[in-house]
Chain A
Amino acid sequence: MTLSRYASSSWRRLGAVLLLGLAGVVSSAMAQQDETPQQPLPPHEQAHFAAKTDEGVPLIIHAALDIPYAMPLLEDFHQRHPQYDITYRNFSTLDVHQRFLDAPAEADVVISSAMPWQYLLVNAGHAQSIETPTTRRWPSDAKWRHELFAFTFEPIVMVVSRALEERVGPINSHADLLSLLVEQSDALQGRVVTYSPVSAGAGYTYAIEESRLSPRYWDLVAALGRADTQLVDTTSSMLDGLADGRFDIGYNVLGSYARESVAASPSLRMVIPDDYALVIRRLAFVPRQAPHPSAARRFIDYLLGSHGQRVIAEANELGALHPELDGPGTANALRRAQPEGLRPTPLSPGLLATLDDLKRRALLSRWQREFHDQIAGKPVHGR
């Protein structure tokens, strides 16, 4: 990595971001000077790679993928294609969606882990078809109409404290968790943390997926409610609380983000449940009105090609989907380790149902009923 690879302001800012441990969201004034948007950009981080050739071709990527995870990919891509002047902006999933609706001709590539929202946009015809030898070879269950491409494989995991496991035995599945919550609900009061499906989009997405997978999910929700489970909005607040020892169990943590944190703290263990584990795949598409479609095409090609996928695999966090890659950090290795339980969310119109407003309200009210009824019901039992 050399300094000259980055615009100096971005580099300094990025350094700051890395030092802050990804917690802070920095949007420098310098970054916003580069363009003249109709509306101010939502809060975001930005990285910039200046073109090394005289006539640089701009490439603007809007993503919901934290910069430290994107950095190895961007560096490698820039080294292979130095003619591109890359601007990478990282938003929250909802912001990246809203920003696209506000300015559909701004970004060349849109990346997000919010699969239903990405699917909604592409279904409505906002993406252009990318047909290259690479995209044609891409597995058909990881692409939709050559417009929407999944390029990572990230299981949703549990993070448990080793101290708890020493007391109560190993927790390896949802069934283990349910029986533990039922048996030890008093001991676990306030010691479990998960996404709030009401205020966190990811939490809602996982809830609707799990409720589709098994009706026993509602037993789990009720048990979580009885254990007075803490509801938070971000993976990082869950991981922070787990690292601090405030929580014993983190349920439904994005595995790609948990891996590093768990490796850093020996008191925690990451569990990919062996009965079932949701898998989300980050989705990328090229907007129909992308200002630099050929640059976008090249980037998608890179992302799905063996170079980009190898970088993803070697970073060992996002999970490379490329069918020919194997070894640590690939979907193939994960599938071998968990031959039965992996449940990747399919790229299908079912995702649209997730976004149905009435459906959302129905699910959330059921969820809250199951979650809170038990608390309200407790005194009844006690009476």
Chain B
Amino acid sequence: MRGDSLHSRLLTWLLLPMLLVGTVVLWRAWLDARQTADRAFDRLLDAATLAIAEQAQWQEDRLWLDLPPAALEMLATQHDERVFYRLVDARGDHVTGNADLPGIDLSGRRASDMGYANISWNGMPMRLGVRRSRLEDWRLREPYEIRVAHTLEGRDALSQELFRQSLAYLLAVAVLSVAALIVAIRLALEPLTKLRRQIRSRDPRTLAPLELALPRELAELRDTVNELLARMRRVKANQERFIGDASHQLRTPLAGLSARAELALRQTDPQAWRTALSAMHATSQGASRLAMQLLSLTRLDNPEYQPQLTPTGLVQVAREAVMTHWQRCQRSGVDLGLDAPEGEVTVLALDWQLGEALANLIDNACRYGARHVTIVVTDTPPTLSVVDDGPGIPSERRLLALRPFHRGQQSGEGSGLGLAIVDGIARTHGARLTLADGGTAPSPGLSVSMEFQATVTPDDPPVTTRHSLS
């Protein structure tokens, strides 16, 4: 955690450029200090050569110099520099001074110019100043060259002094900036800490939205969390209502059973007992079916439930459903039919779930007064539908009909779970559930279709085999 915090990231990426800039500025300051010191001390070389040049003259038929001591004094500061000088005539011959003090190439400069150079002479680093000049006599215009040099103690001391000042200034700036940076990062990351504290201090059972003033970036995060919380609130409300409804639904047959048994126990006629028992048997069967449906609905609603889908033939499933339910429908006067294509239609599915869905749909149709019920299988797209000619569901109530315990009519003995179960099964299969009119006048009827995704491609070997077989 410590290694990778926003805090340290920000600090690192802000400090690294600062360090880089600081280094460059320091380097620049050092160069500037050197330059300033050189400029200041080169003035001394300049003045010394001028003072010497003033004393150069023509005497005894030669270039002559009455060396002014002050010119040499000028070159030494309180740092006691070593001082050297030399006078050279036009032919480069030595006139006086330190005989082997070197010169510098002044070609290309104007005659009275000064030239400066850093040299190392006799193992000592020093600064050399060379002045070219000529005698200002009436006739004689003898050129000559004055060289002066001194060691670098004064220059070094001055440049170090200047550099120390820049360094102190820069250090102060750096300390201030780093302090400001740390405070700024703290302040900028403060809302994050606030958010974390609020989340941590929440009651784990509450799903109330986070109420917290935050900067824009974090406000988006807060809103996302709040949306998630809202969804969880809705899911929880649904679950609570489902549990309430389920308890209610189960309580009614149980209360009926209890009342019937109590009534029967007051009787002494075994015939009455028998009647009561068979009634109780029917009621308990209904209750048991309700419990089964609740169980399968719960299972289908479980988001963790990811069944392994296998290639399944829709026509086969439909045919089996017709065979299972035909007799019961026949008894209650309902005509159950099948409308399927020639070949098999294969999708990835669980055959028992599809069977369950068909059972629920057929049962619903029978309960709500349909006379004709047809199971329709189509090929493209792969669809499994149940179409009836019952009263149907008005289109504005179709979505509500998918919710558990919602019945299209208040009468009747359905549990209200059928369409919810079908919806769950469709979701498990990734199929699209459509409720539409049955399309046969006078009653509107109802068509419930599950449209599967064509996940099985034609070149899939098992499917090809099936096609070729059928």
Residues of A within 8 A of B (CB): 123-125, 144-145, 212, 348-354, 356-359, 362
Q: A125-B82, A353-B69, A358-B67 are in contact. List 4 more A-B contacts (CB 8 A).
A: A123-B82, A354-B69, A358-B95, A362-B59
Chain B interface size, as a band, is 20 to 34
Interchain CB contact under 8 A, A362 and B82? no
For B52-72 the 0/1 string (1 means CB < 8 A from A) is 000000010000111111111
Residues of B within 8 A of A (CB): 59, 64-73, 75-76, 80, 82-85, 95-97, 122-124
- Chain A nearest CB from B52 CB (Å) reads 10
Q: If A123-B82, A125-B82, A358-B96 touch, does A350 touch B69 (CB 8 Å cutoff)? A: yes
Distance in angstroms between the alpha carbons of A353 and B55 in the assembled complex = 13
Residues of A within 8 Å of B82, CB to CB, are 123-125
Interchain CB contact under 8 A, B73 and A348? yes
Distance in angstroms between the alpha carbons of A350 and B71 in the assembled complex = 8
Interchain CB contact under 8 A, B122 and A356? no
CB within 8 A of A353: which of B64, B68, B84, B124? B68
Residues of A within 8 Å of B71, CB to CB, are 353
Interchain CB contact under 8 A, B83 and A352? yes
Interchain CB contact under 8 A, A359 and B66? yes
Interchain CB contact under 8 A, A349 and B65? no
Residues of B within 8 Å of A353, CB to CB, are 67-69, 71-72
Residues of A within 8 Å of B80, CB to CB, are 144-145
Residues of A within 8 Å of B65, CB to CB, are 356, 358-359
Distance in angstroms between the alpha carbons of A356 and B55 in the assembled complex = 13
Residues of A within 8 Å of B69, CB to CB, are 212, 349-354
Interchain CB contact under 8 A, B67 and A356? yes
Specify the chain B residue showing the minimal Cβ separation from A143.
B80
8 contacts between A and B (CB under 8 A): A123-B84, A144-B80, A348-B72, A349-B72, A352-B85, A353-B72, A358-B66, A358-B96
Specify the chain A residue showing the minimal Cβ separation from B73.
A350
Specify the chain B residue showing the minimal Cβ separation from A209.
B69
Specify the chain A residue showing the minimal Cβ separation from B83.
A349
Residues of B within 8 Å of A358, CB to CB, are 64-67, 95-96
Interchain CB contact under 8 A, B64 and A362? yes
B69, B71, B75 — most chain A CB neighbours (10 Å): B69
Interchain CB contact under 8 A, A350 and B66? no
- Chain B nearest CB from A228 CB (Å) reads 28
A123, A356, A357, A358 — most chain B CB neighbours (10 Å): A358
Residues of B within 8 Å of A212, CB to CB, are 69
Q: If A123-B82, A349-B76, A357-B96 touch, does A362 touch B66 (CB 8 Å cutoff)? A: yes
Residues of A within 8 Å of B122, CB to CB, are 124-125
- Chain A nearest CB from B391 CB (Å) reads 118
Residues of A within 8 Å of B67, CB to CB, are 353, 356, 358-359
Interchain CB contact under 8 A, B76 and A348? yes
3 smallest beta-carbon distances between A and B, as pairs: A350-B69, A349-B72, A353-B69
Interchain CB contact under 8 A, A349 and B73? yes
Q: If A350-B72, A353-B72, A356-B97 touch, does A123 touch B66 (CB 8 Å cutoff)? A: no
- Chain A nearest CB from B82 CB (Å) reads 5
Distance in angstroms between the alpha carbons of A352 and B75 in the assembled complex = 12
- Chain A nearest CB from B16 CB (Å) reads 43
Residues of B within 8 Å of A124, CB to CB, are 82, 122
Interchain CB contact under 8 A, B68 and A356? no
Residues of A within 8 Å of B66, CB to CB, are 358-359, 362
- Chain B nearest CB from A358 CB (Å) reads 5
- Chain B nearest CB from A359 CB (Å) reads 5
Residues of B within 8 Å of A350, CB to CB, are 69-70, 72-73
- Chain B nearest CB from A168 CB (Å) reads 36
Residues of B within 8 Å of A348, CB to CB, are 72-73, 76
Residues of A within 8 Å of B97, CB to CB, are 356
CB within 8 A of A125: which of B59, B64, B68, B124? B124
Distance in angstroms between the alpha carbons of A124 and B76 in the assembled complex = 14
- Chain B nearest CB from A211 CB (Å) reads 11
Distance in angstroms between the alpha carbons of A362 and B96 in the assembled complex = 13
Interchain CB contact under 8 A, A125 and B70? no
Interchain CB contact under 8 A, A123 and B123? no
Distance in angstroms between the alpha carbons of A127 and B65 in the assembled complex = 29
Specify the chain A residue showing the minimal Cβ separation from B63.
A358
Distance in angstroms between the alpha carbons of A286 and B83 in the assembled complex = 20
Residues of A within 8 Å of B124, CB to CB, are 125
- Chain A nearest CB from B59 CB (Å) reads 8
Distance in angstroms between the alpha carbons of A125 and B122 in the assembled complex = 8
Distance in angstroms between the alpha carbons of A123 and B121 in the assembled complex = 13
Residues of B within 8 Å of A359, CB to CB, are 65-67, 96
